[in-house]
């Protein structure tokens, strides 16, 4: 099995590399691919230096599976070319809503991989990935009617430059120096920005509509969903406050048991000081953590909960590699 990573030198590309080092995919040859600016540099894999190749002239026939983690424009241009020779697993948003491209979270809908028509499989938005892993077991048991989500998303979701800017702004703020935002619409240090991606119809942002549309595609088109997405001054891990309304009766004990038994989920909910998960504690971990599980005291058919996951792993690199594992298992 030969594997290529397009965007290997970026945040998610490097995380895919880390995940591959820890998993048991039967890799014969691994190719790192990036822009001409990064071509010629070297990355390590299992102690071996591998030279980064130029995307513009890379021969995709050398690869059986190709991960794309270089943004939507690169995926738009090069993924169809790669898909003529290789199965493409794309981390950008470009193909997610294409009806001929399955949008996959393996713990939720791995069977949809068989619906692949363009030799491309899409990886969902990072906030969607951790959400649907939680919703799936609850939907199976109690049938979800409506979901209300507020996200608290780390700066790594926007890339390395925004992470660096958070650190720079924090230093400037502590030194009482002027801050001029570069990658954000307002100061991110010691702040919260209720705006991720561009504004679209009816006051929503693209990020919010991604969560709505992707969740419907992955899980169930009949679930009603609304979202508010907020950028917070954290480097890694996204958090979500979720209100879930069910059609059927439920108990908190059954919800806890369902989530504790679900693949990829861990409940940490002691309901005391410190008995919950935070973004800092989730960093570097594969699981989606759930805390603050409680009945909605305004609606006896609804529950509130809090979840946190490493967006670079569960929301991107880990999910992409798990898609590859699911594809290999069924082919």
Please work out, in degrees rounded to the nearest 5, the angle formed at the alpha carbon of residue 163 by the alpha carbons of 13 and 184.
Answer: 115
- Which pLDDT value is given to residue 51? 95
Q: Is it true that domain 128-310 has CATH number 3.30.360.10? A: yes
Residues 6 or more apart whose Cβ sits within 8 Å of residue 198? 205, 206
Q: What gap in Å lies between CA 85 and CA 62, rounded to an integer?
A: 8
Q: How far is CA 57 from CA 35, 80, 115, 225, in A?
A: 10, 15, 30, 43
Q: What gap in Å lies between CA 279 and CA 320, rounded to an integer?
A: 21
Please indicate whether residue 238 is annotated as part of the active site.
yes
Q: Is the distance from CB of 280 to CB of 152 less than 8 angstroms?
A: no
Please indicate whether residue 126 is annotated as part of the active site.
yes
Q: What gap in Å lies between CA 308 and CA 289, rounded to an integer?
A: 5
H helices of 40-125, in order, are 72-82, 106-109
Q: What gap in Å lies between CA 195 and CA 312, rounded to an integer?
A: 20
Residue spans of the domains in the chain: they are 2-124+316-329, 128-310
Q: Catalytic one among 126, 229, 265, 307?
A: 126
Q: Is the distance from CB of 114 to CB of 93 less than 8 angstroms?
A: no
Tokens for 49? 């230096």
Q: Judging by beta carbons within 10 Å of its beta carbon (0-12, 13-18, 19+), is residue 32 exposed, middle or buried?
A: buried
- Identify the CATH class of 2-124+316-329: alpha beta
Beta bridge partners of 64: none
Please work out, in degrees rounded to the nearest 5, the angle formed at the alpha carbon of residue 66 by the alpha carbons of 62 and 67.
Answer: 150
From first CA to last CA, the distance across the chain in angstroms is 12
Q: Is the distance from CB of 221 to CB of 185 less than 8 angstroms?
A: no
Q: Which segments in the chain show pLDDT lower than 50?
A: none
Q: Catalytic one among 139, 238, 265, 307?
A: 238
- Which pLDDT value is given to residue 11? 86
Q: How many CB atoms lie within 10 A of CB 117?
A: 10
- Which pLDDT value is given to residue 10? 87
- Which pLDDT value is given to residue 32? 96
In this structure, what DSSP letter does residue 60 have? G
């Amino acid at each position: 099995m030969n594997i290529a990573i397009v965007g290997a030198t970026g945040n998610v590309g490097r995380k895919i590399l880390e995940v591959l080092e820890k998993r048991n995919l039967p890799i014969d040859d691994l190719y790192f691919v990036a822009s001409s600016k990064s071509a010629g540099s070297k990355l390590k894999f299992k102690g071996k230096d591998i030279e980064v190749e130029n995307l513009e002239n890379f021969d995709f026939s050398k690869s059986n599976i190709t991960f794309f983690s270089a943004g939507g424009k690169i995926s738009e241009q090069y993924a169809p070319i790669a898909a003529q020779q290789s199965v493409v697993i794309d981390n950008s948003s470009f193909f997610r809503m294409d009806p001929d491209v399955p949008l996959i979270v393996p713990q939720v809908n791995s069977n949809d991989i068989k619906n692949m028509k363009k030799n491309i499989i899409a990886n969902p938005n990072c906030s969607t990935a951790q959400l649907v892993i939680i919703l799936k077991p609850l939907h199976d048991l109690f049938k979800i009617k409506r979901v209300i989500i507020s996200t608290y998303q780390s700066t790594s979701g926007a890339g390395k430059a925004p992470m660096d800017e958070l650190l720079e702004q924090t230093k400037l703020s502590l030194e009482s120096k002027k801050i001029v935002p570069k990658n954000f619409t307002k100061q991110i240090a010691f702040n919260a920005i209720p705006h991720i991606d561009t504004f679209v119809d009816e006051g929503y942002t693209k990020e919010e509509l991604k969560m709505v549309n992707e969740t419907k595609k992955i899980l169930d088109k009949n679930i009603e969903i609304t979202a508010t997405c907020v950028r917070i001054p954290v480097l890694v891990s996204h958090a979500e406050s979720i209100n879930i309304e069910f059609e059927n009766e439920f108990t908190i004990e059954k919800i806890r048991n369902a989530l504790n038994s679900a693949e990829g989920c861990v409940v940490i909910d002691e309901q005391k000081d410190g008995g919950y998960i935070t973004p800092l504690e989730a960093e570097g971990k594969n699981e989606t953590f759930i805390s603050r599980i409680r009945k909605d005291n305004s609606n006896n058919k609804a529950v509130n909960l809090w979840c946190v996951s490493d967006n670079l792993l569960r929301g991107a690199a880990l999910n992409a590699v798990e898609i590859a594992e699911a594809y290999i298992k069924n082919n």
